[in-house]
Amino acid sequence: MAEKNDPPARAPPPPRFEHADLRKAAFHDVDLSGASLDDAKLISARANNVNATGLNLSDADLSGAQLTNVKARGASIDDADLADSKLVNIDARQIAIDDANLAQARLHDVDLSGAWLEDVNLSDARIKNVDLRNARIEDCNIDGLTIDGVRVDELLTQKPPRRG
């Protein structure tokens, strides 16, 4: 029994995984909040009802992964491959994504409000029913970018008409 003057018990530090081979792993009802996964292989992994708030993910391969009902608010993803992955019902508010491959990834019902995406591959992406209010797009390759049937790259390169 603890004495009155004993310091409070400390919570264990968040888990840290390095060089973990978790291919085809299944995570269900798991708390990974604040965890770090460095150089992890999560190819074709499945995650359902996972708390990944504040997760730090770097140099990880999640290609073909299926993530459903994941809370990833404030998470950080750096140098990750999410190609061909499927993300459904993800709370990714204020997430930071840097140098990630999202080619052929499918995102449905994902909240990226306040997110920061830099050096992210979204080539050939289809974006539908998305709230882009106050979004800022800077220093991007927009070759062939089309919004509601209008080629944006061509619009931005057109010379404004002369006023007489």
Secondary element (H or E) of residue 154:
helix 152-157
pTM for this model (two decimals) = 0.81
What per-residue confidence (pLDDT) applies to 98? 95
What per-residue confidence (pLDDT) applies to 48? 98
How many other CB atoms are there within 10 angstroms of residue 23's CB atom? 14
What per-residue confidence (pLDDT) applies to 95? 96
Half-sphere CA count of 164, side-chain side, radius 13 A: 0
The one-letter amino acid at 24: K
Q: Find tokens 């306040």 and name the residue.
A: 114
Contact between 37 and 56 (Cβ < 8 Å): yes
Three-state SS for 124?
coil
What per-residue confidence (pLDDT) applies to 45? 98
Give the separation between CA 107 and CA 101, rounded to whole angstroms: 13
Give the separation between CA 51 and CA 156, rounded to whole angstroms: 42
How many separate helices (H) and strands (E) can be counted in the chain?
1, 13
What are the per-10-residue average pLDDT scores of the chain (164 residues)? 70 88 97 95 98 96 97 96 96 96 94 93 86 89 89 81 66
Contact between 100 and 80 (Cβ < 8 Å): yes
Three-state SS for 78?
strand
Domain ranges of the chain: 16-123
User: Considering only the top CATH level, what class is 16-123?
Assistant: mainly beta
